Structure 1
Amino acid sequence: MVFGKIDYLNLLPLHIYLKKTAFPSYVKQTTEYKKGVPSKLNRHLYFRRIDAAIISSIESRRKKYKTLNVGICASKKVKSVLVKKHSQSKEDASSATSNALAKVLKQKGEVIIGDKALKLYLQNPKDYIDLCELWYEKTKLPFVFARFSCVKNFSIYKRMMKNFTKSKIFIPQYILLDYSKSRNLSQKEISAYLKLIYYKIGTKEQMALKKFLAKTNSKIL
């Protein structure tokens, strides 16, 4: 079993959950993790180089994928999916959903996502448009940036993920410290950011995802 892993702060709780949860030994022993940015994991899953991952929500609608109501969601604000004001239009090569969201919201400028975006926003928030915030202003709905998608061993992954959205994940201090050093962000900033993120795709999130996908032009089958 090969699970795609995005090494961004917004999925840190999932990584801790997968590491700490007492899965059957055969699951632990046979599960590998393959790291990559969202756009890379999109390709890996499409070509079946991995079995499952939380991939860009715009890609997750492919008919070949089985999905769960687990993903990366935010409401009103996210701080890590941005368009830089007064800049030339440029897509973020590591993204798919965020590039499409900028187009849906008719925002021209450089798209920036992930931990790099969070750091830039915290330094100069007035220089950036938070796309999640703008989406909420226009729709009064949250936004689903990514969704769990699978091409193999779905029943096993479904059992693995069953309790994730119901679990309160404690992030050990030493892990927060490691991420603080590697991202050049304070532990307080990381903790505050993670409070903006949640993972259960409920009724409102499904409505938001349906609305977003309807507004995109991609004919993905």
Structure 2
Amino acid sequence: MKIRLGTIDFLNALPLCDKLSREDDRWEIVEALPSELANHLKSGEIDVGLVPQVEACRDARYRIVPGHCISCDGEVGSILLFCRKEWRDLGVVAVDQASSSSVALLQVLRHLDGLPPLELMETRSDLSLFENPNPPEAILLIGDAALGHLSSPLERIDLGQAWKERTGLPFVFAVWLARDELPTWVVAGLGEAARLGLASRDQIANDFSRSHPEIFDRSAASDYLHRCICYHLGKEQQEALVSFHRLRAEIDPRLDRDWYPRYLEVDR
């Protein structure tokens, strides 16, 4: 069976995805935005994908592939809310749906602070929106788009840091998510790609900075991959997944508060 594998091209995902063998004819690699991969997984267009963690509760067939994730333990630098007003006074925020986990985190942070939910304006997320005649009160940027504006003088909130300050937990942005029938040889392939990619973070940073000099120089890209992004899906990250879901369920009664992440059995 040929496995259809969904990957993303953000810098923070490259240590997990860059070393996947394009020559392995047992799988086909599909590259898209995180939210698009979530839709592909739901429709059956892919069998496993690096998708926003909030997708894990949306289908009883879904299993998280153990081992690796994309997470942070404090400041992350690539999930930023740029604001024209104080946090407590915000009402409307421009977002794109490239990552539903980041959008959900935004609302959970409001909930933790006892503030009303934000009205989300789905559009392209670009700081040039602030120049419109009727600009949004804040703009959420994620991934490489956020990294490209780290030097902006605008007031901003790092959502990874905000979550850490309120909960003391790391935050998981994306996981490898699969249907239960995923062959276990794929898990080994994902693990080997991660091992090679994590050992090659400096080279990945160098290549990225050469192709995206407007975002990062080599030193900053390497620091981001080593210091800001965590890739191990350990007990703390698993606890954070549960805590985040419980908080989301307090906001959205449609969610099952007792849901618990299901992990792929790798010893079958």
TM (norm. structure 2) is 0.72
1:131 to 156, 159, 162: 159
Moved over 3 A (4+): 162-168, 175-178
Query: How far 1:153 sits from its partner (Å)?
Result: 2.8
Contact 1:17 1:169 (8 Å CA) reproduced: no
Contact 1:16 1:171 (8 Å CA) reproduced: no
Alignment of 1:28-177 (within 5 A): 28-62=24-58, 63-69=60-66, 70-86=68-84, 88-106=92-110, 109-120=138-149, 122-124=150-152, 127-151=155-179, 152-163=181-192, 168-171=198-201, 173=203, 176-177=205-206
Query: How far 1:31 sits from its partner (Å)?
Result: 1.6
SS at match of 1:191: helix
Show CA shifts across 1:121-148 (max 9, x none).
x212762100000000001110000111
Give unmatched runs, 5+ long, in structure 1. Answer: none
Show CA shifts across 1:166-209 (max 9, x none).
66421474x54442244322111211111111211111111111
- More displaced, 100-109 or 135-144? 100-109
Q: Flag the structure with larger Rg.
A: 2
Whole-Å Cα distance in 2 between the matches of residues 43 and 13 of structure 1? 23
The one-letter amino acid of 1:46's match is: K
1:214 is aligned to 2:246: yes
Query: How far 1:35 sits from its partner (Å)?
Result: 1.0
Query: How far 1:5 sits from its partner (Å)?
Result: 1.1
Q: CA RMSD in A?
A: 2.4
Show CA shifts across 1:47-97 (max 9, x none).
010111111000122322121232111101110011111264122221200
SS at match of 1:29: coil
Give unmatched runs, 5+ long, in structure 2. Answer: 86-91, 111-116, 119-137, 260-268
The one-letter amino acid of 1:38's match is: P
SS at match of 2:144: helix
Contact 1:165 1:200 (8 Å CA) reproduced: no
TM (norm. structure 1) is 0.86
Matched with 1:200 is: 232
- The percent of aligned pairs where both chains have the same amino acid is 31
Matched with 1:7 is: 9
Contact 2:206 2:218 (8 Å CA) reproduced: yes
The one-letter amino acid of 1:186's match is: D
SS at match of 2:199: coil
Query: How far 1:164 sits from its partner (Å)?
Result: 5.4
SS at match of 2:9: coil
Whole-Å Cα distance in 2 between the matches of residues 208 and 215 of structure 1? 11
Whole-Å Cα distance in 2 between the matches of residues 164 and 200 of structure 1? 13
Show CA shifts across 1:8-30 (max 9, x none).
0001111233239xxxx8xx113
